[in-house]
């Protein structure tokens, strides 16, 4: 295995391990070519927040847990990148919050669906998506496929690393959409009800801790009442700008 060559002392060990997971997922046929490119896009934005979870992201993570707690049929929509990076965290969070998991791919092939389903099944977890019986209106055929008991009837969908068109289509169906996206400028980030500007694996680990601590429906309601996604996106952009200015100032000495 190539990743044994990355020493733990490497300053960017975490990031390099994630890259290895993506490459391994690609080799297994779980991750699409475009998934590798999307990961690079995410990495670039992670530099801009110093590869750490910041306060604005923690607030969005808390709001996301609140929305899922208040949901009737919350669904966790996963793709190849999400599975390659964080299959165990997805399973853990979905279990704590009683969420269904559905495989939903932008570049759908039956082969890739089957392999992703198998990643979950080999861990004793059943997921939806292999036999779609419904469609998300407004998307072309293969991108629209979903299941009636899962995404189609969901009130809240947690859909990390999602394409902008699909996020919009889910919103048009009246769903409450939560995304995880390091790029606050992407269409998904701007169209979701809650955008967590953080790296997926870090975000899910934090969300597992928040969910494990528990939240009453009353607490959840009051968290959501004061939540404003545009404000969170603005805070993320401000943080990135100031972070760059700080680095620039330190170079000037
Ligand atoms: P959009 O379609 O929303 O305008 P896009 O086409 O750039 O944006 P997609 O490829 O459709 O984006 O979705 C992937 C998004 O996920 C990108 O914005 C990318 O920055 C982000 N991303 C990739 N890897 C991660 C990660 N590990 N954690 C968080 N975000 C990530
Ligand atoms: Mg896109």
Query: Which tens digit of pLDDT belongs to each residue from 86-115?
Result: 999 999 999 999 999 999 998 899 999 999
- With a 6 Å cutoff on the Cβ, whether 171 touches ligand 1 is no
Question: Does residue 245 have a pLDDT over 60?
Answer: yes
Where is average pLDDT lowest: 64-68, 139-143, 196-200, 201-205?
139-143
Which ligand approaches the C-alpha of residue 189 most closely?
Answer: 1
- With a 6 Å cutoff on the Cβ, whether 139 touches ligand 1 is no
Looking at every residue in the chain, the average pLDDT score rounds to 96
Asked if residue 110 belongs to a domain, the reply is yes
- With a 6 Å cutoff on the Cβ, whether 186 touches ligand 1 is yes
Q: How many domains does the chain have?
A: 1
Asked if residue 251 belongs to a domain, the reply is no
**What are the beta bridge partners of residue 176?**
156
Residue 14: what pLDDT? 87
Question: Does residue 11 have a pLDDT over 90?
Answer: no
| 19-67 per-position pLDDT tens digit | 999 999 999 999 999 999 999 999 999 999 999 999 999 999 999 999 9
The upper half-sphere exposure of residue 30, i.e. CA atoms within 13 Å in the direction of its Cβ, equals: 23
Asked if residue 33 belongs to a domain, the reply is no
Asked if residue 43 belongs to a domain, the reply is no
- With a 6 Å cutoff on the Cβ, whether 188 touches ligand 1 is yes
Asked if residue 76 belongs to a domain, the reply is yes
**β-strands 145-146, 134-135: how paired?**
antiparallel
In which band, very low, low, confident or very high, does the pLDDT at 1 lie, cut at 50, 70 and 90?
A: very low
44 CA distance to ligand 1 middle (Å):
11
CB within 8 Å of 217: residues ≥ 6 apart:
69, 70
Mind giving me the DSSP string for 32-43? -HHHHHHHHHHH
The answer to whether 232 touches 56, Cβ cutoff 8 Å, is yes
Give the range of the structural domain holding residue 84, as residue numbers without chain letter. 55-237
| 162-195 per-position pLDDT tens digit | 999 999 999 999 999 999 999 999 999 999 999 9
What CATH code is carried by the domain that includes residue 117?
3.40.50.12640
Rg of the chain's alpha carbons, rounded to an integer? 18
Asked if residue 40 belongs to a domain, the reply is no
Residue 180's H or E segment, with its range, is: strand 176-180
pTM of the model: 0.96
Residue 4: what pLDDT? 59
| Closest atom of ligand 1 to CA, residue 191 | 3
Asked if residue 9 belongs to a domain, the reply is no
Residue 74's H or E segment, with its range, is: strand 74-78
Mutate to test the pocket of ligand 1, among 44, 86, 163, 168 (most ligand atoms within 8 A of CB): 163
Asked if residue 167 belongs to a domain, the reply is yes
- % residues pLDDT > 70 (the chain): 98
């Amino acid at each position: 295995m190539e990743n044994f060559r990355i020493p733990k002392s490497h300053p960017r060990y975490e990031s390099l391990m994630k890259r290895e997971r993506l490459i391994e997922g690609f080799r297994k046929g779980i991750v699409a070519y475009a998934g590798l490119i999307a990961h690079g896009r995410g990495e670039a934005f992670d530099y801009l927040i110093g590869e750490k979870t910041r306060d604005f992201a923690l607030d969005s993570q808390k709001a996301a847990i609140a929305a899922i707690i208040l949901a009737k049929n919350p669904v966790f929509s996963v793709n190849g990148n999400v599975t390659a990076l964080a299959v165990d965290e997805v399973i853990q969070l979905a279990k704590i919050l009683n969420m269904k998991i559905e495989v939903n791919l932008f570049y759908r092939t039956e082969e890739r669906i089957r392999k992703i389903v198998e990643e979950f099944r080999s861990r004793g977890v059943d997921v939806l998506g292999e036999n779609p019986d419904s469609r998300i209106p407004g998307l072309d055929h293969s991108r629209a496929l979903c299941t009636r008991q899962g995404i189609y009837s969901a009130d809240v969908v947690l859909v990390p690393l999602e394409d902008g068109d699909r996020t919009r289509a889910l919103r048009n169906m009246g769903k409450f959409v939560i995304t995880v996206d390091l790029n606050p400028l992407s269409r998904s980030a701007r169209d979701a009800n809650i955008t967590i500007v953080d790296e997926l694996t870090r975000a899910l680990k934090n969300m597992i801790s928040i969910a494990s601590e528990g939240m009453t429906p009353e607490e959840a309601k009051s968290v959501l009442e004061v939540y404003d996604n545009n404000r969170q996106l603005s805070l993320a952009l401000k943080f990135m700008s100031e972070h760059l200015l700080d680095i620039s100032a330190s170079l000037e000495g």
